[in-house]
Structure 1
């Protein structure tokens, strides 16, 4: 008899497995894939280069609690991610900053000048409801067309005018020359990779791992008291209200006989090519190797569910499933797929740590 059967071995499930195991509970964690670590799984390819199987995952958080918690399972390599966008034959910093504007328009603006310059370009919109509204309201149509519209259309398969404001609100505009993609207090990569972090997180005598297994096949045959589910919430309920829309990605890897392929970790292609971006892994991992591996990302509508699509009608559909979920006895839903939220890694960790404390409080044992 297991105390908990956990479906899904990404951050959402693994964090709960670790916390519950250390609270004395017995855990069986299962995953359909042949590996642990979910979408953060990394491995050494045939050339010996450490790559992320499901696209680049760069860790960043403002939460000292989360960083300290994960530090129990890994040492870190300091890394601040930088992204360039290929626009009109130039590679320009994104998020848009002072350097971006000066290079694009041939200006010599100062930080004090930039605010009024952007105000002059902005087309104020009220209310701000869509992703298009967010950008045009802040920087105007020209920058919107050059940096956001094409990229968003490729990434989401929808025009920004059809997407919730939260999508482009994630990418700020800066009046200084800070060219870091993230500004969080803690920015680092697991020194030996995410898979090694997960191995340590799950290395507890109370945790049993079963891979290439479907939790549905085990529910009736493996005795357990409770289920923690981190897969797509609509799949759990057999799509009774219809499928929740997701975006997927086709990852195309290429290894080259070069020390370096591009000048930064990621380059975005907002207006050209079918792919959205190219990432070179050696920037992220710090690995020294005579060759290099990059990944091209081609968004698509079918395939593994990676990104919940932020639109009101999708949220309304999710809320119907959420009502069903709240009626389930001894079943907990968590993670990006289980709660249909476009979460970063640290937010998923925070969600599962919060759920653990809730379980402990409800059962009246120390969490």
Structure 2
């Protein structure tokens, strides 16, 4: 009998597994249907020896000292400030839009924040009520810059015109009047010194934690005795799509290794106006690795595939609320993470959510007797190995 079964070995599941194992001294089995831990943050050395991210670039940034300090228990850090360029009118210009961007596109020489703001104000269009992603951008910077930077990229990313998307989508991308060309402005901007996978390995390296990979929850849920469940997968899948499927956008990745040291001047170049892909990322900028070759990734948004981005439309939120109501009625199950709460979270926000959920567990879930939990866990390990040929149990 495991004290806890955790579905999903990404940030949400792994943070909770470590907290429960170390702070509550309870047994945890964490499973994942993929052949690795780390969720979408999983990184690896490819055949050329270049450290790359399997599911596109993941750049850690946060304003929370508590979140940064917690993860620092499991990794050293490499300082890194992400910079993004966009190919606009055959020029590479900074994204988010800043004063440098404006000067380059319009052959201007704006020297102050006030001059840049006046330029943007002169192009902004009044919008009576800000409801959609288009409204957000047009009301701040006007239609021309909206068409150049936002409309094409957003349509590729979401499969919908910005006029059909909630205002939250483009509200995430600021417009600046200074010359700060960093993509993020958070207090803490770092990359795990030895990669995300190494950080997850250290996080889950605890005698109370067992890991099973290539394991689907639906196939093993009745085979693994457990007292409580933490579910970080899609909430609609947990309830067998009772009310229908929650819509997601997915991504397809094309990884290419090149026989040259560097391909592009920054970590990511966006293509808002051209190409089928949205961006190209080059990992050596992120990792600082010295290597005579380099690996890049093309990202192609897709309507099918693994769920990545909840589509922010009112009808989708209404559907999620139905599943959320079911979740609140389900005893001994905790729903945590992007997919389980149908929200687009950054990595630090998922960690924060998991830490908050652990505090709630500490306050509301009594510590029960483990009843020789470690010997039971060992017995379960043999049971899993015997019954689930595809399951891969680690630790």
Question: What is the TM-score with the length of structure 1 in the denominator?
Answer: 0.98
Give the one of 237, 245, 250 matched to 1:243: 245
Give the one of 113, 124, 127 matched to 1:122: 124
1:357 alignment partner in structure 2 = 359
Query: Deviation of residue 112 (structure 1)?
Result: 1.9
1:330 aligns with 2:332: yes
Question: Which digits, 9 at most, give the CA deviation of each residue in 1:92-149, with x for residues without a partner?
Answer: 0000000000110111112221111111100121321111011001100000000000
Give the one of 200, 215, 218 matched to 2:217: 215
In the alignment, the residues of structure 2 paired with residue 127 and residue 19 of structure 1 have an alpha-carbon distance, to the nearest angstrom, of: 45
2:294 alignment partner in structure 1 = 292
1:10 alignment partner in structure 2 = 10
Q: How does 1:269-284 map to 2 (within 5 A)?
A: 269-284=271-286
Query: Deviation of residue 322 (structure 1)?
Result: 0.4
Runs of at least 5 residues in structure 1 that lack an aligned partner in the other structure? none
Give the one of 134, 140, 143 matched to 1:141: 143
1:265 aligns with 2:280: no
Secondary structure of the structure 2 residue equivalent to 1:262: coil
2:203 alignment partner in structure 1 = 201
Query: Deviation of residue 218 (structure 1)?
Result: 2.4
Give the one of 300, 307, 315 matched to 1:313: 315
Secondary structure of the structure 2 residue equivalent to 1:253: strand
2:76 alignment partner in structure 1 = 75
Secondary structure of the structure 1 residue equivalent to 2:169: helix
In the alignment, the residues of structure 1 paired with residue 114 and residue 192 of structure 2 have an alpha-carbon distance, to the nearest angstrom, of: 38
Question: Which digits, 9 at most, give the CA deviation of each residue in 1:243-298, with x for residues without a partner?
Answer: 11111111001111111101110000001000000000000000000011000000
Secondary structure of the structure 1 residue equivalent to 2:136: helix
In the alignment, the residues of structure 2 paired with residue 90 and residue 195 of structure 1 have an alpha-carbon distance, to the nearest angstrom, of: 36
- Is the deviation greater in 81-90 or in 102-111? 102-111
Question: Which digits, 9 at most, give the CA deviation of each residue in 1:69-102, with x for residues without a partner?
Answer: 0000000000000000000010000000000001
Give the one of 230, 233, 249 matched to 1:231: 233
Secondary structure of the structure 2 residue equivalent to 1:164: coil
2:52 alignment partner in structure 1 = 51
2:35 alignment partner in structure 1 = 34
2:255 alignment partner in structure 1 = 253
In the alignment, the residues of structure 1 paired with residue 110 and residue 344 of structure 2 have an alpha-carbon distance, to the nearest angstrom, of: 35
Runs of at least 5 residues in structure 2 that lack an aligned partner in the other structure? 368-395
- Corresponding residue pairs, total: 365
- Is the deviation greater in 218-227 or in 148-157? 218-227
1:24 alignment partner in structure 2 = 25
Query: Deviation of residue 214 (structure 1)?
Result: 1.3
Query: Deviation of residue 364 (structure 1)?
Result: 4.9
Secondary structure of the structure 2 residue equivalent to 1:332: strand
Query: Deviation of residue 179 (structure 1)?
Result: 0.1
- Is the deviation greater in 346-355 or in 214-223? 214-223
Once superposed, which parts of structure 1, at least 4 consecutive aligned residues long, lie more than 3 Å away?
Answer: none
In the alignment, the residues of structure 1 paired with residue 261 and residue 103 of structure 2 have an alpha-carbon distance, to the nearest angstrom, of: 31
Query: Deviation of residue 220 (structure 1)?
Result: 1.5
